[in-house]
Amino acid sequence: MADILKAKFMEDMTEIISNMYRLGWDERNGGNVSYMLSEDMLALYSDSLKATRTFQTGFYTPSLSGKYFLVTGSGKYFRNVRREPEDCLGIIKIEEDGKRASLLWGYSGGGRCTSELPAHLMSHAARLEVDPENRVVMHCHPTNTLAMNYVHPLDEREVTRTLWQMCTECIVVFPDGVGVLPWMLCGTNSIGEATALKMKEFRAVIWGMHGIYCSGKTLDETFGLVETIEKAAQIYMLTAHLPRINTIKDEEMKSLAEFFGVEYRLDFLNL
User: What burial letters (b/e) apply to 113-152, b meaning 16+ CB within 10 Å?
Assistant: bbbbbbbbbbbbbbbbeeeeebbbbbbbbbebbbebbeeb
Q: Maximum Cα–Cα distance for the chain, whole Å? A: 63
Residue 33 · residue 150 · CB < 8 Å: no
Geometric angle at alpha carbon 23, from 230 and 198, rounded to 5°? 40
Angle at Cα 253 formed by Cα 247 and Cα 254, nearest 5°?
145
Catalytic residue from among 95, 116, 156, 230:
116
Question: Secondary structure of the chain: what % helix, strand, coil (to 5)?
Answer: 45, 20, 40
Instruction: Give yes or no: 116 in active site.
Output: yes
Catalytic center residues: 116
